[in-house]
Amino acid sequence: MIIYREENEIIREALKNINLPKNVYIFDTTLRDGEQTPGVSLTVDEKVEIAVKLDELGVDVIEAGFPISSLGEREAIKKICSLNLNAEICGLARARKEDIDAAIDCGVDRIHTFIATSPLHRKYKLKMDKEEIIERAIEAIEYIKEHGIKVEFSAEDATRTELNYLKEVYKKAIEAGADIINVPDTVGVMIPRAMNYLIKYLNDLDVTISVHCHNDFGLAVANSLAAVEAGAKQIHCTINGLGERGGNAALEEVVMSLHCIYGIKTNIKTEKLYEVSKLVAKYTEINVQPNKAIVGENAFAHESGIHAHGVLAHALTYEPIPPELVGQKRKIILGKHTGTHAIKAKLKELGYNNLTEEQFKEIVKRIKSLGDKGKRITDRDVEAIVEDVLGRV
């Protein structure tokens, strides 16, 4: 596998004075924030099956759900906890006793408790002042710690909160016993430089820093990586980037960027990414767009003659990641852009090895003319063309 930080001069120079961690923890919230995708509702069995697959994939933490939200949710989380998976199981709770009790009742290893801190949320949602919010956070964290459970604390809408106040909230949370502090970019307004600045600003707090980035501007993955450059050690993400509105940082993109670009390790077995993506798409009924990085159907597909020729000569020309590394396969797609190299490779793959030059030219002509009609050309189409040219039909 190529690591761009080592092989690419531009990236190497850009990162040379940055103190990067060796490992980053992957906190998967597909079953909580991912399930908050409009229209998605998983059954207990589906949640359990996805949790098992996430565990096999190697995520460090599975946020299995929001226990207070329904009886079915609690049943699913309890079942997931009873499986004794390798991953830590986490439940979400507002900074309220009844939410926390529901999470404790499920038997989770970690409780992710949160309260909003931004002026907007303080005024219009919580109708609480700054001090009341700190008190509520402290009470919640102390209550969880009394039960001997690990606490991850989030200041919801952290990225629209006054810097000084945000740091004070996190300081108090740590004093109360929070083991991890999570920084949510709740409505995805950060840019990488600002996220990097914020995490550096918080970095002197003596605790593991995590980030939770939403994708409203399409920057969730970039912001998560910028946070790692600044010292964050855990990233919240979801399979296929599922989540509220534009979604959350996509696990597959975060992980492959960490591994292949930065050379930072996670515990993810990347060869399983495609399989898990397909399972999540099936149960959530949210299709993955074809041009989605890593797990999309076109992520390793080549149609243009120039690209197909390139990858057939040397994979790295147009494949920055080997498809097998993420459980995918290279696809050479035939169409009007296809060149002769790709058609030759496809014919060989279909077992047509002894064609004359004239037959081959005729096949190329017919494939291109079919492509010109706006058709996506399947293997079946190619076989029909060849058989016709060979006079067998």
154 binds, among ligand KIV, Zn ion, none (CB under 5 to 8 A by kind): ligand KIV
User: Nearest distance from residue 87's CB to Zn ion, in Å?
Assistant: 19
Alpha-carbon separation of residue 158 from 59, 117, 165, 201 (angstroms): 25, 6, 10, 13
Q: What whole-number distance in Å separates Cα of residue 214 and Cα of residue 33?
A: 10
User: Nearest distance from residue 214's CB to ligand KIV, in Å?
Assistant: 6
What is the distance in angstroms between the CA of the first residue and the CA of the last residue of the chain?
46
Q: Which residue has the tokens 């996220």?
A: 195
143 binds, among Zn ion, ligand KIV, none (CB under 5 to 8 A by kind): none
Alpha-carbon separation of residue 131 from 134, 163, 169, 197 (angstroms): 5, 15, 9, 25
302 binds, among ligand KIV, Zn ion, none (CB under 5 to 8 A by kind): none
In the bound state with ligand KIV, the residue whose beta carbon lies nearer, of 211 and 261, is 211
Q: What whole-number distance in Å separates Cα of residue 21 and Cα of residue 212?
A: 18
User: Nearest distance from residue 209's CB to Zn ion, in Å?
Assistant: 16
Question: What letter would DSSP give residue 196?
Answer: H
Interface with Zn ion: number of residues (CB under 5 A): 1
Stretch that binds Zn ion, among 26-34, 65-73, 100-108, 267-275 (CB under 5 A): 26-34
Cβ atoms 158, 187 nearer than 8 A: no
Pairing of strands 208-213, 234-237: parallel
Burial of 79 (0-12, 13-18, 19+ CB in 10 A): middle
In the bound state with Zn ion, the residue whose beta carbon lies nearer, of 33 and 99, is 33
In the bound state with ligand KIV, the residue whose beta carbon lies nearer, of 47 and 214, is 214
Q: What whole-number distance in Å separates Cα of residue 321 and Cα of residue 252?
A: 12
277 binds, among Zn ion, ligand KIV, none (CB under 5 to 8 A by kind): none
User: Nearest distance from residue 33's CB to Zn ion, in Å?
Assistant: 4
* Residue with the shortest CB distance to Zn ion: 33
114 binds, among Zn ion, ligand KIV, none (CB under 5 to 8 A by kind): ligand KIV
In the bound state with Zn ion, the residue whose beta carbon lies nearer, of 33 and 303, is 33
Q: Which residue has the tokens 């990085």?
A: 293
In the bound state with ligand KIV, the residue whose beta carbon lies nearer, of 192 and 246, is 246
Pairing of strands 180-185, 88-94: unpaired
At 161, give phi and psi (nearest 5°).
Answer: -105, 150
Q: Quick one: which of 33, 73, 99, 157 contacts Zn ion (CB under 5 A)?
A: 33
In the bound state with ligand KIV, the residue whose beta carbon lies nearer, of 166 and 299, is 166
User: Nearest distance from residue 274's CB to ligand KIV, in Å?
Assistant: 26
User: Nearest distance from residue 116's CB to Zn ion, in Å?
Assistant: 12
At 339, give phi and psi (nearest 5°).
Answer: -105, 175
150 binds, among Zn ion, ligand KIV, none (CB under 5 to 8 A by kind): none
The binding site for ligand KIV (CB under 6 A) comprises 33, 114, 154, 156, 184, 186, 212, 214
In the bound state with Zn ion, the residue whose beta carbon lies nearer, of 222 and 332, is 222
In the bound state with ligand KIV, the residue whose beta carbon lies nearer, of 28 and 156, is 156
User: Nearest distance from residue 114's CB to ligand KIV, in Å?
Assistant: 5
- Give the long-range contacts of residues 316-324, CB within 8 A, separation 24 or more: 316/2, 320/2, 320/4, 320/260, 321/256, 321/260, 321/294, 322/1, 323/299, 324/271
In the bound state with ligand KIV, the residue whose beta carbon lies nearer, of 184 and 296, is 184
User: Nearest distance from residue 296's CB to Zn ion, in Å?
Assistant: 23
What is the crossing angle of helices 379-389 and 357-372, to 10°?
140
Kindly list the residues in this chain that would bind Zn ion in the complex (CB under 5 A). Answer: 33
